[in-house]
Structure 1
């Protein structure tokens, strides 16, 4: 085993799995692990490492023990234990040997949680809100004029579809032990449960070659589900799926209809389970987002807000039924990498009105 290096105060920290800190909902079958070393002296060299991985809830019995591996590698070390299971959380820690063959303490434990690894894990159905298909049109002639897209005039707005609001009421059965929400969309989405935002990710599911792979996201929503009736709500925008993208600004490069796939899995403290799925029980409507396009921008009319739409008691009689679609699950992959998040908010320095009546917001 070699002598201890505790006296030298070398420690292992910053454990990462798939380059992420405690990732939730990954689908890598052999996750890549990494760590860093800290020491109170110079010229420390890792010469070996040992990793142990445990099932969450069984901290004493590792499912995989690498043993002492002679290597200075501390980035991209593949998990090499038994097959990983959908939805399962795994804890892990690591220790290292230095150039004197002295061994460190075990690091603090980190974890990762698997997402849905098989298509059969998906029970939710793709649903499409009541909508008019997006008009497919290139609005820039790149050979003549790169500036023919207008900032957002009424004529552009007339060709753009409104964002879609979807909701479903469900009843919880008791105290919640754990709840996970697996979701993706054609378009971009934002989610709420009982009026509280789900996650802090923006423009999910982000831009990919959707026909090849479409990312889904996993959220821990244990603290958002209350007793009695609850409501899950989603807002869908065109995003990269239906909206204008690329140099020519073509729309509908992947499709002309927005859609949602949502699977909420609840485990109660008594051990029972409940699934809340996207299906024909959802209702849809348009709202204050007259349009929301990556190129054209966003127009918001507060007069069209649905007051209380995120509450179970809301009267959805005027809302429309959704349509179940058969897009399948073959292109779904778990979110990889850090998501898009707001990192800074800018306040305008001045708001000006031009002689022609236009409003100019000056950010400096």
Structure 2
């Protein structure tokens, strides 16, 4: 069964990506340029206006929480669990309703995926209220750097204070930096939405492969029972695709991980520029530029073995999950990497023919007829 994609413009999800864009600073525009695209005046002005509206304190808090792995996941979970949310005030209210222990446990669910007890284990439920157990969990969880571990541990030791700080950041960032721009940003997205809707309507399979790099839903060959496989299919029947100004280019996938919520993709508004017609030499140069990174070659070699989940790749290559997503954006651009939906997760999968074809074309240009 194929997943049904629903193209949407979702203000709460766009707010989440505005936070990401503001929190990354120069890295955000460098990411755009690494796709051989120049940031538009619209995105430059939006970033400049948001930065000018932030106090020094808010900039410090944005940097602090952006580096605290798990915060983006918390906002996404709030959105995915409440499909009725239609605006940012509703999102902020839903976040305020969370208790401090719930807030903390959601951080731990994000950063400790592979050290948490299984969800069906009673120890998993007990852990949500066990402060000492949470601290012990953090001690045995590997982190990419000591500073991130220190900040997550700080959250575990002071969840009420950390939640209050994050809540204040969200409300002040929205009021001071994002709300004045929101109407114009949503208008820009709506203006570009028509082309993507037409592309999706004319050829859904081509849209999924080109923009989402999503293969048809698999039947989860490794699941133990037919009922489990059917449940995987059932949960994968609907996926939302939010068209995003602040994602700008490329696509990011979120999964419900079996929570019963719908899956989301966030597609950059300017992703179609990656597929504009260009000369063969330019395409070949772009292909080799994507491969000119040892980590990306290592990822491709791992994907040759089997599909991998993002967190697995991060641990195997000793890099952070956001870094995996960063590299995957380029590899998906070549068509050599796709998403496969199975076992309630999105796995990266290698499309070997799409990897080899550009190499054959390149070599063919030097062969004598």
TM bracket (short chain): under 0.3
Q: Give the number of the structure whose alpha-carbon radius of gyration is greater.
A: 1
TM (norm. structure 1) is 0.19
Larger helix share, 1 or 2: 2
Larger strand share, 1 or 2: 1
